[in-house]
Amino acid sequence: MDETVRRELASRLEAASWGAFLLWVGFCFLMEIRWGVGLLGVAAITLGTQAIRAVKKLKIEGFWIVMGCLIAGSGLWHVLGIGADFGPIVLVAAGVAILATAVFGNKHRHGV
């Protein structure tokens, strides 16, 4: 597949994923869907996008696989009612770790 075609496909897939995300979130608000189910839907969109990338032989984005798994875990934790405080704590910890890495990480990693 030509590199221009790859970039176009990746761009269209990203736009479709964001569209699906916004549709899902809007639907969840309108239908007053519980947080756990809402998070599972977001995880399905996130992980599904990476699965499509793999099938289409596009570069898989590891960051989004990790995020999808964290979101799915939090959603399941909430749906199953297992220690409801654990899911949000994991998400907060992951957010702090990502933010700290972005702010304080190795500044020479990308030639900056």
The per-residue pLDDT for range 28-41, each reduced to its tens digit, is 999 999 999 999 99
**Residue 105 class from Cβ within 10 Å (0-12 exposed, 13-18 middle, 19+ buried)?**
exposed
Structural domain including 70 reads 3-104
Residue 49 lies in a domain: yes
The predicted pLDDT at position 106 comes to: 73
User: Is residue 75 included in any domain, yes or no?
Assistant: yes
Q: How much is the pLDDT for 110?
A: 56
85 lies in a domain? yes
**pLDDT category of residue 74 using cuts at 50, 70 and 90:** confident
Confidence check: pLDDT of 11 > 90: yes
Residue 111 domain flag: no
Residue type, 73: G
| Residue 54, phi then psi, degrees to nearest 5 | -65, -45
Q: Name residue, tokens 């639907």.
A: 27
- Six token digits for residue 31: 């239908």
Phi, psi of 13 (to 5 degrees): -65, -40
**Does residue 112 lie within any of the structural domains?**
no
Q: Do the domain assignments include residue 22?
A: yes
User: For residues 101 and 81, what is the distance between their CA atoms, to the nearest angstrom?
Assistant: 31
Query: Which range among 34-43, 52-61, 81-90 shows the weakest confidence by mean pLDDT?
Result: 81-90
| Domain count across the chain | 1
Q: Is residue 81 part of a domain?
A: yes
Please check whether residue 67 lies inside any domain of the structure. Answer: yes
Distance CA 73, CA 69 (A): 6
User: For 80-94, what is the mean pLDDT?
Assistant: 78
pLDDT for 88: 76
Q: Residue 48: is its pLDDT beyond 60?
A: yes
Angle at 75 between CA 72 and CA 81, to 5 degrees: 135
